[in-house]
Amino acid sequence: MNDEGIRARCFAALDVLCAQHGIDVPYRGGLDAGFRYGPTKIPFLSPQKGIFHAAAQTGPAALSINTSWKSPYGDAELDEGYLYAYRSGALDQPDNRALRQSFVLQVPLVYFVATRPGWYRPLYPYYVTSDDPTERRVLVSPGQMVGPFDERAAAPLESPIARNYAVRETRVRLHQAVFRGRVLRAYASTCTICRLKESRLLDASHIAGDLEANGEPIVSNGLSLCSIHHRAFDNDLVGVSPDYEVHVSRRLLDDEDGPMLELLKTFHQAPISVPTKRVWQPDKERLAERFHRFVAVSG
Ligand SMILES: [Zn+2]
């Protein structure tokens, strides 16, 4: 079987999964189905092992690598990519051999980063751009898809500037994804105001913005909100008081414009639902600061 064909099919199948699930894909009910190459079903990754080489591949290089939820920042970030560690054991045990062959052959692979338990963000195409057997780790860097829409092919990014830029972009998005993953998990994937339970429509909003001094990406600085409530919260049309009560702005309350607005209004003075675990509950000091602004703006 054609190794290049398998990789191309793998990327195309991931495009489809990302379109279905959003940019983070669940393992169960998503990645676990694998992808088809002719009559053969091929897994995307091995969550237990990290480095994955499929039995159906003819080439010796890894098809994917993954980083577990327990160490979302476990792979050290450099300007040009991420340092990915060999497996423990012999230098030439099969997984390490597959990883190192990715460097020798310069073939693209998928870098799966867990953003919450059981969910991965697939980054592809990635390339192993250096190999350090003394430190027992490789550097993986982003590549790009080139060519027309129906014949896209993976290619490395040759310029260090383009690589640095791509890594920086990825890093920001990954950190956002990890924050979102933590907050949604704490809130059991529910909007804290209206209880909507559809993770594709849920965001993790910051209470103190991420540019502010106390805006750290920790769960107690977040609220799980549906898209509408997120937008309303960001625009001070809806506020949450430090005693966890929803306040709808005067402007919305006085407006009379259709059923959607009526729905928004019904949550006025209703309690938000908060996680049972104390450390996850919204920080009252940050809420007070934010609520102060809401009151000032919304009157
Ligand atoms: Zn909502």
The per-residue pLDDT for 140 is: 96
- Asked if pLDDT for residue 119 goes beyond 60, the answer is yes
The per-residue pLDDT for 77 is: 82
- Asked if pLDDT for residue 129 goes beyond 90, the answer is yes
What value does the mean pLDDT of the chain take?
Answer: 92
**Radius of gyration of the CA atoms of the chain, in A:** 23
How far does the centroid of ligand 1 lie from the alpha carbon of residue 236, in Å? Answer: 14
Q: Which two tokens stand for residue 195?
A: 């209880």
The per-residue pLDDT for 72 is: 47
Residue position matching structure tokens 């979102």: 180
pLDDT digits (tens, 9 = 90+) for 68-87: 877 645 678 888 999 999 99
pLDDT digits (tens, 9 = 90+) for 178-208: 899 999 999 999 999 999 999 889 999 999 9
* Domain range annotation of the chain: 3-182, 187-298
Q: Is 258 left (phi over 0), alpha (psi -120 to 50) or beta?
A: left
How far does the centroid of ligand 1 lie from the alpha carbon of residue 265, in Å? Answer: 12
How far does the centroid of ligand 1 lie from the alpha carbon of residue 172, in Å? Answer: 25
Q: In the predicted model, what is the mean pLDDT of residues 226-239?
A: 94
Start-to-end Cα distance in the chain: 68
Q: Closest by alpha carbon to 193, among 253, 145, 244, 157?
A: 244
The per-residue pLDDT for 74 is: 60
Other C-beta atoms within 10 Å of 12: how many? 12
How far does the centroid of ligand 1 lie from the alpha carbon of residue 232, in Å? Answer: 9
Q: State which fold the 3-182 domain adopts.
A: PUA domain-like (2.30.280)
How far does the centroid of ligand 1 lie from the alpha carbon of residue 202, in Å? Answer: 8
How far does the centroid of ligand 1 lie from the alpha carbon of residue 293, in Å? Answer: 21
Q: Is 265 left (phi over 0), alpha (psi -120 to 50) or beta?
A: alpha
The per-residue pLDDT for 56 is: 94
More confident residue, 131 or 72: 131
DSSP structure string for 19-46:
HHH-SSEETTTTGGG-EEETTEEE-S--
How far does the centroid of ligand 1 lie from the alpha carbon of residue 69, in Å? Answer: 27
Rounded to whole angstroms, how far apart are CA atoms 261 and 256?
7
How far does the centroid of ligand 1 lie from the alpha carbon of residue 120, in Å? Answer: 25
How far does the centroid of ligand 1 lie from the alpha carbon of residue 196, in Å? Answer: 6
Q: Which stretches does DSSP call E strand in 106-221?
A: 109-116, 119-132, 137-146, 153-156, 202-206
Contact at 8 Å (CB) between 268 and 253?
yes
How far does the centroid of ligand 1 lie from the alpha carbon of residue 171, in Å? Answer: 28
pLDDT digits (tens, 9 = 90+) for 269-286: 999 999 999 999 999 999
How far does the centroid of ligand 1 lie from the alpha carbon of residue 21, in Å? Answer: 20
How far does the centroid of ligand 1 lie from the alpha carbon of residue 267, in Å? Answer: 9
Rounded to whole angstroms, how far apart are CA atoms 68 and 80?
21
- Asked if pLDDT for residue 244 goes beyond 70, the answer is yes
pTM assigned to the model: 0.80
Residue 232 burial (CB < 10 Å; 0-12/13-18/19+)? Answer: buried
Q: Closest by alpha carbon to 122, among 4, 7, 5?
A: 7
- Asked if pLDDT for residue 1 goes beyond 70, the answer is no
Q: In the predicted model, what is the mean pLDDT of residues 293-297?
A: 93
Q: In the predicted model, what is the mean pLDDT of residues 147-159?
A: 87
Contact at 8 Å (CB) between 273 and 187?
yes
Q: Do you find a cis peptide bond into 125, omega within 30 degrees of 0?
A: yes
The per-residue pLDDT for 71 is: 63
How far does the centroid of ligand 1 lie from the alpha carbon of residue 118, in Å? Answer: 24
How far does the centroid of ligand 1 lie from the alpha carbon of residue 47, in Å? Answer: 33
- Asked if pLDDT for residue 157 goes beyond 90, the answer is yes
How far does the centroid of ligand 1 lie from the alpha carbon of residue 208, in Å? Answer: 19
